[in-house]
Structure 1
Amino acid sequence: MAIETFKQGILPHLKLFPAGICFTFAYGSGVFKQKGHNSVKDNMVDLIFVAENPLSWHTANIERNPKHYSFLRYMGSKAVTAVQNFGAAKIYFNTLVPVNNAVIKYGVVSRESFIEDLLDWNSLYVSGRLHKPVLVLQNYDDGDIKMALEQNLYSALHASLLLLPESFTEERLYHTLASLSYRGDFRMKFGEDRSKVSNIVKCQMEHFRSLYEPVIKSLDQWVDVDFLSGKAEQDVSPSAKLYHLNLLPKTLQMGMLEEWSRDGKYHDLEDILRAAAYDTECGDLVNAEIEKIVNQSSWSQSIKGVLTAGIFKSIKYSAMKVSKMMKSLNKT
């Protein structure tokens, strides 16, 4: 009921923005309760807008909502779109935007880049946010987006199972799924709540279960989760690992191929994945490649953040993040 109330409250705000958005979702502590946050009302609302044509959309939005943008608005929508397309994530954020009685942060990504990240994990930036429960606010029944969203969940489960042992708990599975897009993020060492992933999972078990139960049940040949007891087991044989490896996103597979090719010899991807399936450190190999993807995108987005938010908002936003981190350290 609380989520539905939030949705009805935020939907009118979307009328402030131009048309041309094919998919919108809200995420984070401003939507879903997290441990350590007394009320979602106290937190900034995070939104992602998937735009059909970002250049046209920014042109209209700069005219309609100029104060949302940093100094980049004076350089025009072409400059804004160029900054958006810089880096692997290809997303542009306006942050600390006051809208009526709320404060929001919204990111703009093209439909093409959105789908590519969901399928290939180019950056694990928007795809990683969708590994966790989100609230869909606008959805124009786009078949390609629907397919990519589903594929992203399967990819997350395949990757997580490769990182987990033979026996684990349902909560640990969700913790692993939620942590994928934070592995390798330098901000998790300084600038983020150290207990962020645990705080997300502990208060959202039902949402995670609703999101992943159909996916888990469709892979019952490889993994068995007892949703009553919370206990889980999986097949960790080389054949099972090879099955998961073959279904990992392209960027992750290509990263593994590149790593194995450092000896200067030619390697076939199929041979590399088979060798990895028999390697006792298979999970470490997968984790290392996930960390590379996330590390690259986290750095590029942080650099962009100074431009898109401006100096003063960047300082304020960073201070908020550091404050959360210090509170979590004090609790620890």
Structure 2
Amino acid sequence: MPLPVLQTTSVLYRRILSHFPQDISLAFAYGSGVFRQSGTTQGQMGNNMLDFVFAVDDPVTWHTMNLMQNRKHYSFLKYLGPRQISNLQGNHGAGVYYNTLVPCDGRVIKYGVISTDALIEDLHHWKTLYVAGRLHKPVKILVQDESVRLCAALGSNLKSAVTAAFLMLPESCSIEDLFVQIAGLSYSGDFRMLIGEDKAKVLNIVKSNMPHFHNLYGSILQECSQVVYKPQQGKLEVDKSPEGQFTQLMGLPRNLQQEITRLVDPPGKNRDVEEILLQVAQDPDCGLVIQQGISSIVKSSSLTQSAKGIMTAGMLKTVSYSFKKLMKMWKGSRRKSS
């Protein structure tokens, strides 16, 4: 069953996709050029860069074909060839290779390439939370194959986002509070939120896209035994008992559990994960521990991926892209103060 997000038959997106090799297991568009955020107009959206991610089964073959079709998209790394590009993609940063500020069909686009296996690992285990975090928020699915592994991983990622958010929320909260918590997971610990992003970004994403968030998470909330879901009132009541929190902690992705263990377990003790999570479940600061664990994952992957981006984009594009991000942040702060 395909991921329950907004589908699109937009001619523009199909035209853009036609410029690339078609061996793609998952393709989606995301970001402010695709979904409106509070404070932006339709006209402003039309000027924003369009962001894409392509998951491919065989990165070496895909980059080989893409270098033949779209050689100008690549920085100086094109001279190293598809195998080295693929190695850089998979072995450094968050497993994604980005080409940015690419003119395509009258728009400027950025696209990231990730191997299907790396994507599935991130979705299940939150190894980097880089692409998994983007898929916590509404996206436009353009291509999705019928792989059972991929479908299961996409669903697992959404359930994990809900579980992590429950642990950081109070017992009673609004649906909007939940969606803001979920949307903020992949920004927690991201250094770019300090220097290159609008500080109100998370709230803006949620406020303008509540129906899309309901579409993503409504059925999960209806089926979840850890929460009393009251959609008509827009309210939630989360099980905050130690037993309930322990169940939620045991349902978190493996890499986050390991980060929590590292934060809580003193060196040399070497207790098992279940024993540590049982302790955290009874801690009044349980939510803070989860927040710190997520921040640790995101901080590491955002730093290494951004460093890799300087190489994959080239210095001129990096300076141009960074300047545009800073301008967006400045405009956002002006809107907030006015």
Q: Indicate the TM-score class for this superposition, using the shorter chain for normalisation.
A: over 0.9
Matched, 1:24 2:27: yes
1:114 matched residue in structure 2: 119
TM superposition shift of 1:4: 6.6
Residue of structure 1 aligned with 2:110, choices 101, 105, 111:
105
Residue of structure 2 aligned with 1:239, choices 235, 243, 265:
243
In 2, Cα distance between the equivalents of 1:10 and 1:322? 27
User: Which 5+ residue runs of structure 1 have no aligned equivalent?
Assistant: none
Residue of structure 1 aligned with 2:18, choices 15, 18, 27:
15
**Structure 2 counterpart SS, 1:312:** helix
Equivalent pair of 1:6/1:31 in contact (CA under 8 Å): no
**CA spacing shift, 1:5–1:269, aligned 2, 3 Å:** closer
Matched, 1:328 2:332: yes
Residue of structure 2 aligned with 1:59, choices 42, 61, 64:
64
Residue of structure 1 aligned with 2:38, choices 27, 35, 39:
35
Q: Output the amino acid matched with 1:20.
A: D
2:135 matched residue in structure 1: 130
Equivalent pair of 1:7/1:137 in contact (CA under 8 Å): no
Q: How many residues align?
A: 329
TM superposition shift of 1:280: 0.7
1:256 matched residue in structure 2: 260
2:3 matched residue in structure 1: none
Q: Which deviates more from structure 2 when the two are superposed, residues 230-239 or residues 130-139? A: 230-239
- TM-score of the superposition, structure 2-length normalised? 0.95
Matched, 1:82 2:71: no
Q: Provide Cα deviations, 1:209-231, integer angstroms capped at 9, x if missing partner.
A: 01100011111x32123222212
- Aligned ranges for residues 172-191 of structure 1 at < 5 Å? 172-191=177-196
TM superposition shift of 1:36: 2.0
CA RMSD of aligned residues (A): 1.3
1:296 matched residue in structure 2: 300
Equivalent pair of 2:56/2:115 in contact (CA under 8 Å): yes
1:218 matched residue in structure 2: 223
Q: Which deviates more from structure 2 when the two are superposed, residues 175-184 or residues 322-331? A: 322-331
**Structure 1 counterpart SS, 2:55:** strand
Residue of structure 2 aligned with 1:146, choices 151, 159, 162:
151
- TM-score of the superposition, structure 1-length normalised? 0.96
**Structure 1 counterpart SS, 2:40:** coil
User: Which 5+ residue runs of structure 2 have no aligned equivalent?
Assistant: 1-5
**Structure 2 counterpart SS, 1:298:** helix
TM superposition shift of 1:262: 3.0
In 2, Cα distance between the equivalents of 1:8 and 1:239? 50
2:278 matched residue in structure 1: 274
Matched, 1:307 2:311: yes
Q: Output the amino acid matched with 2:79.
A: Y
Equivalent pair of 2:90/2:115 in contact (CA under 8 Å): no
Q: Provide Cα deviations, 1:75-121, integer angstroms capped at 9, x if missing partner.
A: 11122112212335100000111111111110000010000000000
Q: Percent identity?
A: 43
Equivalent pair of 1:49/1:107 in contact (CA under 8 Å): yes
Equivalent pair of 2:8/2:140 in contact (CA under 8 Å): no
In 2, Cα distance between the equivalents of 1:299 and 1:153? 24
**Structure 2 counterpart SS, 1:46:** strand
Equivalent pair of 1:131/1:156 in contact (CA under 8 Å): yes
1:95 matched residue in structure 2: 100
2:205 matched residue in structure 1: 200
